[in-house]
């Protein structure tokens, strides 16, 4: 049994971690919940018990064995170092992902890396996780040389306030009240009835931080610094689940039929084999698996395949992946 803490317990990811710990019967002896001062004194239910949320992590600093970090990067950089010498922190932010001393883990891809931690393990970006769960079984058969990805990402990836903004924008869409309602918006542009081809800030090459996460994290998780990745990440007006159109070039030919066979029994993957049937966010929200469909030859890449990948970004893209990492620590 382990004493467990969740930092950011009242956010979308933190609340989902609580649910998944219970659903998977993780051996929790005592659960501690931390959040900002706005949530101080609130309660959350775990195994029929109400647990009070605290704003003072010193309440449990010397007590916990495993810490789930579900905070934004600035606060993460401040708090996580306090815990790393006393517990194992599984962090969902981007604060430590590219630190060479911090393993970046997708359990279906590189579970052996869990042994290399020095107190902190990083949870990858949501879009990277679902893409690599789908691609790794193919990578093992024939090394991937190049990846092109276009993502269609739900607003839940930007947090609860973004969900509220989407709901209000649909409610006030096309009215003069919309201008008054959204002076302090989450997104730079309206998201209701719109798509925004920007997630994160831009770098000097015109790529956003979200797009570059997919580049750098793929190389680190696959332990392949030579793999070429390019991405365009787009926010779309749905509540949950990210979708990705992905094209891949392999070193050796791999047919769609071979890919289907490899993915059919791959851990964490569900395959739609009929090309006229395909996964959609409707199928995946609230589910644990990564869904793959529309597997076909790519006309641009030599030895190329194209496919469609969909997954719940809050579950597999964040909370579930973190809990799976914690389960690896128990083995």
Write the pLDDT tens digit of every residue in 78-104: 999 999 889 999 999 999 999 999 999
- Say what the pLDDT of residue 23 is: 97
> How sure is the predictor about 179, in pLDDT bands with cuts at 50, 70 and 90?
low
117 and 133 housed in the same domain: no
3-state helix, strand, coil in the chain (%, to 5): 35, 25, 40
Q: What is the average pLDDT across 182-186?
A: 71
| Partner residues linked to 231 by β-bridges | 149
- Average pLDDT value for residue range 133-139: 98
Q: Who has greater pLDDT, 59 or 318?
A: 318
Q: What is the pLDDT of residue 53?
A: 96
CATH of the domain at 208: 3.30.360.10
Average pLDDT over residues 222-237: 98
Domain identity same for 267 and 323: no
> Which strand (E) or helix (H) includes residue 136?
helix 126-141
pLDDT for the residue numbered 41: 87
In the residue annotation, 242 being an active-site residue is answered as yes
pLDDT in tens, 27-79: 999 999 999 878 888 999 999 999 999 999 998 999 999 999 999 988 999 99
Q: Residue 108 maps to which CATH number?
A: 3.40.50.720
Residue percentage of the chain with pLDDT more than 70: 96
Catalytic residue among 117, 233, 240, 242: 242
Q: How confident is the model at residue 190 (pLDDT cuts 50, 70, 90)?
A: confident
- Give residue-wise pLDDT tens across range 7-27: 999 999 999 999 999 999 999
144 in the same domain as 36:
no
Residue 181 confidence (pLDDT): 59
Together in a domain, 138 and 268? yes
pTM above 0.75, yes or no: yes
Active site residue 189: no
How many folded domains does the chain comprise? 2
Residue linked to tokens 């393990």: 121
- Say what the pLDDT of residue 175 is: 55
Q: Same structural domain for residues 71 and 163? A: no
For the chain, give the mean pLDDT.
94
Same domain, 239 and 144: yes
Does residue 147 sit in the same domain as residue 111? no
**Which of these is catalytic: 70, 126, 233, 240?**
126
Per the structure, the complete domain to which residue 68 belongs is given by 2-123+318-330
The average pLDDT across 287-307 equals: 97
CB 311 within 8 A of CB 291: yes
Residue 58 exposed, middle or buried by CB count within 10 Å (0-12, 13-18, 19+): exposed
Based on the domain organization, do 133 and 25 belong to the same domain? no
Residue 183's pLDDT band (cuts 50, 70, 90): low
**Rounded mean pLDDT, 190-206:** 94
Q: What is the pLDDT of residue 178?
A: 54
Sheet holding 228-235, edge to edge: 228-235, 144-153, 242-250, 304-311, 290-297, 269-271
pLDDT given for residue 284 in this prediction = 94
């Amino acid at each position: 049994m382990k004493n467990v803490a969740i930092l950011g317990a009242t956010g979308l990811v933190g609340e989902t971690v609580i649910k998944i710990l219970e659903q998977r019967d993780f051996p929790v002896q005592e659960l501690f919940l931390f959040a900002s001062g706005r949530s101080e004194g609130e309660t959350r239910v775990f195994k029929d018990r109400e647990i009070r949320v605290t704003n003072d992590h010193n309440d449990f600093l010397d007590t916990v064995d495993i810490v789930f970090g579900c905070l934004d990067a600035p606060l993460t950089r401040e708090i996580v170092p306090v815990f790393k010498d006393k517990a194992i922190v599984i962090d969902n932010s981007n604060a430590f992902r590219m630190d060479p001393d911090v393993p970046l883990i997708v359990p279906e891809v590189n579970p052996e890396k869990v042994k290399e931690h020095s107190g902190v393990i990083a949870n990858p970006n949501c879009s990277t996780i679902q893409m690599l769960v789908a691609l790794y079984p193919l990578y093992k058969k024939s090394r991937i040389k190049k990846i092109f990805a276009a993502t269609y990402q739900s607003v839940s990836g930007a947090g609860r306030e973004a969900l509220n903004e989407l709901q209000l924008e649909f409610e006030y869409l096309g009215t003069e009240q919309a201008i008054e309602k959204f002076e302090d918006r989450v997104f730079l542009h309206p998201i209701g009835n719109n798509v925004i081809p920007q997630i994160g800030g831009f770098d000097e090459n015109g790529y956003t931080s979200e797009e570059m996460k997919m580049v750098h994290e793929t190389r680190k998780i696959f332990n392949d610094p030579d793999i070429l990745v390019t991405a365009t990440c787009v926010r779309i007006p749905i509540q949950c689940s990210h979708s990705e159109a992905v094209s891949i070039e392999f070193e050796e030919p791999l047919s769609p039929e071979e890919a289907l066979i490899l993915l059919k029994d791959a851990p964490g993957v569900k395959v739609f084999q009929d090309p006229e049937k395909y996964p959609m966010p409707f199928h995946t929200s609230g589910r644990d698996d990564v869904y793959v469909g529309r597997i076909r030859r790519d006309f641009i890449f030599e030895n190329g395949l194209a496919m469609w990948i969909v997954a719940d970004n809050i579950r597999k893209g964040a909370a579930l992946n973190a809990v799976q990492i914690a389960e690896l620590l128990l083995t």
